[in-house]
Every structure is written in C-alpha cells, then in structure tokens.
C-alpha cells in the first residue's frame, strides 16, 4: 500500500495531463508564477536599477522561495490530515507541472493550419510556442520551428519535471518550473534582459544539464519503436549535441533531427535581431508537415521511458518512508 501512495502523485499527474492537457479556463500555478516574475521584475527595475545583476539574483531567489514554499505548506497540511489526501493533492500539483499534452496540442495547431494551407494561421499558432520572430518564416521555417520546440520542450516541459518530482515531489517540481519559467521570460541575452536575467538563465542551464542528456538518451532508445531512425538519432546526437548557445537545447534537438533525417536550427530572428546559429543534423530530405506529428510521437515515446524510471525512483525513495 505504501508503494501505491508513493507512486500515485506521478501516476495521477500523468493521467490527468494525457486526459485534460492545459486547463485554459482555470487558474494555472505556472501562469501565477509568471505574474509573480513580472511583478518582481517591475520592482527590481524601479528600486535596483543601478545593479540589475544583483536585482536579478533577488528576483530569482524570491520567486523560487515563494514557488516552493506555497506547495510545501499545502502538502504538509494535506499529508498530516491523510496520506491518500496528500497523495491526490500532490498528484494534481504534478499534473500542473507536466506539459506533454499541451505541447502536442499547440504544435498540432501548426500542423492543421499548414495542412489547410493557412500560412498566416500557422505563423500565429507557432508564435504561441516559440520565442523567435515568426513573421519572416516561410512554410518550411514554420514547420521547423514547431519541430524544434517539441524536441527542446520534451526535456524542459515533460521529462525534466518528472525527474525532479521523482526525487523531491511536487515541491522540487515547482522549484524547477519556477526557474524554467524565469528563463523563458527574462533569460534573454539582449540589452533589456542581459543583466536582470543572467542568474535565472545560468540556473536553468544548471538544472537542465543532466535531464536534457538523459532525455536525449531516452529519445534515442525510443526512436526505433516509433518508426524513426535510432542509429541516425545517436549519430547526430554525438556529433551536434553541442551546436547551440545553450549547453542543453541541442541535446534533444540533435536526437530529433537525426531520428527524422532532417536539418534543424540555423539562423533566426529574435526581437528583430538576427542570431547566427549552426545547423543541426543532415538534410537527408526536405522537412514536411508530417514531421510535427513524428516529433510528437518521439516526444511521447521518450517521455514514457523517463516516466517509468521516475515512478521506480519515487517508489524506491518514498515507498519506505510512508507509513
């Protein structure tokens, strides 16, 4: 029975994510964290404008403390009342930390728009899930952006939270998601965010260092089971996994590129500024709309391997503690 309670939060979280996805009509903890980041950023820019790097550290530490303390307090109360109640509430929290269904749904909006020959609709859809400028993208560029986002966020949005929740429960999961959300909001290297977002960006790099590499290996192992090229995935991963300004992003992008037999990355515009990037993978064929669906299959298959391992780790850690 103890092992069931230990595994229940991850099992329930994954089930709800697969069933419901992102509950757009309900308050979402990650969106609340985003609002907190914006509020504290405004405070830092007003009160600590002379030293934005130190202000960025203050911002990050405050957000991390609040984002972790609130779920910790809630779970302590719930588990003290009843173990099953605590496990269910933690399962709901885990659900909010998983983004597999949302990632698939949002990328498939791009797929459907391309299939309907609605290029402008596809640009709008992809602009919701990427940070780059999308107005200049042609059809191939739109598809490539969607595939890259699915590949990169397989780690950031699905497997990394699973790994952290397996060893530290929903509390550590919220700590990770708060850091990841800060990176996505203020972790840019442009003039506006270079100082205030520096600490958050570096912290996100550290937190994703191991998960991104384990996810790349899981995706490589999963590739043959989805009808993709496992050997190609491993070959391109070994060759191109460092071809990115981030130490982590190219890990899963290179696997996806090799598995699909397409070339990803390359130059992109951010906030109107051209950023030069190396290509990842070999152009064995032209990218096509169906690659978005293939990338999603690879995301789910790789995530399933990580999920099974995460459940086993959680049972090992928490199964003997719960009494």
pLDDT of residue 77: 97
SS3 100: helix
pLDDT, residue 1, reads 61
- Going 166 to 172 to 175 to 178, the CA torsion angle's sign is positive
End-to-end, the C-alpha distance of the chain in Å comes to 9
Closest by CA position to 295, among listed 181, 153, 159: 153
Supply the pLDDT for residue 35: 94
Q: What pLDDT does residue 176 have?
A: 97
Buried b (16+ CB within 10 A) or exposed e, 152-166: bbbbbbbbbbbbbbb
Cβ distance 236 to 258 under 8 Å?
yes
* pLDDT at position 194: 86
Tens of pLDDT along 113-166?
999 999 899 999 988 888 777 777 889 889 999 999 999 999 999 999 999 999
**Percent of the chain whose pLDDT exceeds 70:** 95
Degrees (nearest 5) of the Cα angle 92, 98, 99? 130
| CA gap 125, 89 in Å, rounded | 33
Which single residue is written with the structure tokens 């800060």?
182
pLDDT in tens, 20-38: 888 776 678 999 999 999 9
- Enumerate residue ranges in the chain where pLDDT < 70: 1, 25-26, 267-275, 320-323
Name the DSSP class of 21: -
With tokens 């419901």, the residue in question is 20
Q: Is the pTM of this model over 0.85?
A: yes
For 68-108, the DSSP string reads: HHHHHHHHHHHHHH-HHHHHHHHHHHHHHH--HHHHHHHHH
């Amino acid at each position: 029975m103890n092992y069931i309670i230990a595994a229940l939060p991850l099992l329930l979280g994954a089930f709800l994510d697969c069933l419901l996805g992102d509950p757009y009509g309900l308050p979402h903890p990650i969106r609340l964290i985003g609002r907190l980041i914006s509020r504290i950023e405004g405070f830092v820019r007003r009160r600590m404008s002379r030293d934005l790097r130190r202000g960025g550290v203050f911002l990050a530490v405050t957000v991390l403390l609040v984002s972790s303390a609130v779920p910790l307090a809630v779970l302590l109360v719930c588990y003290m009342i009843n173990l099953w109640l605590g496990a269910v509430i933690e399962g709901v929290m885990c659900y909010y930390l998983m983004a597999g269904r949302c990632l698939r749904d949002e990328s498939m909006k791009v797929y459907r728009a391309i299939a309907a020959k609605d290029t402008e609709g596809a640009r709008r859809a992809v602009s919701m899930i990427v940070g780059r400028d999308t107005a200049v993208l042609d059809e191939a560029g739109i598809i490539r952006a969607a595939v890259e986002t699915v590949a990169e966020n397989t780690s950031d949005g699905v497997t990394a939270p699973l790994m952290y929740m397996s060893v530290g429960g929903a509390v550590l999961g919220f700590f990770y998601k708060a850091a990841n959300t800060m990176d996505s909001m203020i972790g840019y290297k442009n003039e506006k965010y270079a100082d205030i977002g520096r600490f958050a960006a570096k912290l996100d790099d550290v937190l994703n260092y191991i998960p991104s590499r384990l996810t790349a290996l899981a995706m490589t192992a999963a590739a043959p089971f989805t009808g993709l090229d496992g050997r190609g995935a491993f070959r391109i991963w070994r060759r191109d996994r460092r071809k990115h300004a981030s130490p982590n992003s190219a890990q899963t992008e290179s696997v996806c590129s090799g598995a699909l037999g397409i070339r990803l990355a390359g130059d992109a515009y951010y906030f109107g500024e051209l950023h030069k990037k190396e290509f990842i993978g070999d152009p064995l064929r032209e990218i096509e709309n169906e690659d978005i669906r293939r990338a999603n299959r690879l995301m789910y298959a790789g995530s399933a391997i990580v999920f099974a391992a995460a459940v086993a780790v959680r049972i090992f850690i928490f199964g003997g503690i719960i009494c």
